[in-house]
Amino acid sequence: MRKVTQSAHAAPTASAVKDRIMSLMRDASTEITPVEESRLPELAAILAPGTPVYVAHTPNASFAEVIRAALAVRRAGFLAAPHIAVRRVPTAAALRAALAELRSGGVEHILLIAGDATQPLGEFSSTLQVLRSGIVQESGITRIGVAGHPGGHNAVPSDALWDALETKQAFAASATLAMHVVTQFGLDGGAFRAWHRELVQRGIHLPVRVGIAGPAPIARLVHFAIQCGIGTSTRVLLRNLNAGTHSAGWAVTPDQHLLGIADAPLPGQILGPHFFAFGGVLQTARWMRKIAAGDFGIDAQSGRFRLKP
């Protein structure tokens, strides 16, 4: 974040930045894992009804467990959006049945991702295959999230990621689907703004949820960054940590990311931030509630939040 001063031209005031952050938080989302389903009553006491809560398809969870958890999220009063990791879908018939079950339970949103399985469990290996199959459209689900990768992906070239996003946007327009992008989190504080500039240049106008890691130790962030294929910035961070050095370009806390986004007028394309909880949904939700309520100040020197008691 640029230093917050009284200069009218160099940077916005701390008050203006705080207002932008609180505006962003009005439509913030988070996620749970299937094993956290029992935490939903506690979560409902922290987050407002209708908050978007995604259900992550973690490595040890089955497809059926993700669907069950999404239905529980909906019953708890949230806007549920299960991850449909297509490489972990057993069969086309199982996908049809799952989407029908979701619709009958009041779930209208899904996040369609390829998933991290090296070999597909069933017949689908990409999200475009599922979209082109017509199964989603037949189910009546018309609000679909797809993945964005501001930090790139170890296993997929950058051009292929952009081509896929352009193709998905064209498909959504032709199929009259309401599509949005949920970006992967990262450790590079400037990656989202650079990615968004390219988004605009390529004419991709899909609404975007900015993926941000919730409050978590650096070791946990590195673990999940490696697991999610966010390799370049992770390797740089590890090298510098081992050397005991520091780079101003890192963003390893959610406040650093929010300040980086809100330090300039917010693009209208941004829906809001999406906070990855990494199995700590209640801690993340409590932090979200404080920020949304404005229970924080901004330390201009450190570029961090000061949370109020």
pLDDT value at residue 264: 84
Q: What is the pLDDT of residues 93-145, one digit of tens each?
A: 999 999 999 999 999 999 999 987 889 999 999 999 999 999 999 999 989 99
Please give the model's pTM, rounded to 2 decimal places: 0.90
Instruction: Count other Cβ atoms within 10 Å, centred on residue 132.
Output: 13
CA atoms within 13 A on the CB side of 231: 6
Rounded to whole angstroms, how far apart are CA atoms 99 and 35?
Answer: 21
Dihedral in degrees, nearest 10, Cα atoms 208, 75, 130, 87: 100
Dihedral in degrees, nearest 10, Cα atoms 13, 14, 19, 21: 120
Instruction: Count other Cβ atoms within 10 Å, centred on residue 77.
Output: 16
Rounded to whole angstroms, how far apart are CA atoms 161 and 184?
Answer: 12
Q: b or e along 115-125 (b: 16 or more beta carbons within 10 Å of the residue's beta carbon)?
A: beeeebbbebb
Domain ranges of the chain: 14-307
List, in sequence order, every residue forming a beta bridge with 144; answer none if it has no partner.
Answer: 110, 179
Euclidean distance between the first and the last CA atom of the chain, given in angstroms as a whole number: 24
Q: What is the pLDDT of residues 194-220, one digit of tens each?
A: 999 999 999 999 999 999 999 987 777
The residue ranges of the chain whose pLDDT is under 50 are 1-9, 242-247
Dihedral in degrees, nearest 10, Cα atoms 91, 93, 94, 96: 130
pLDDT value at residue 279: 74
pLDDT value at residue 109: 97
pLDDT value at residue 239: 56
Task: Could you please state the CATH topology (level 3) that the domain comprising 14-307 is classified under.
Answer: TIM Barrel (3.20.20)
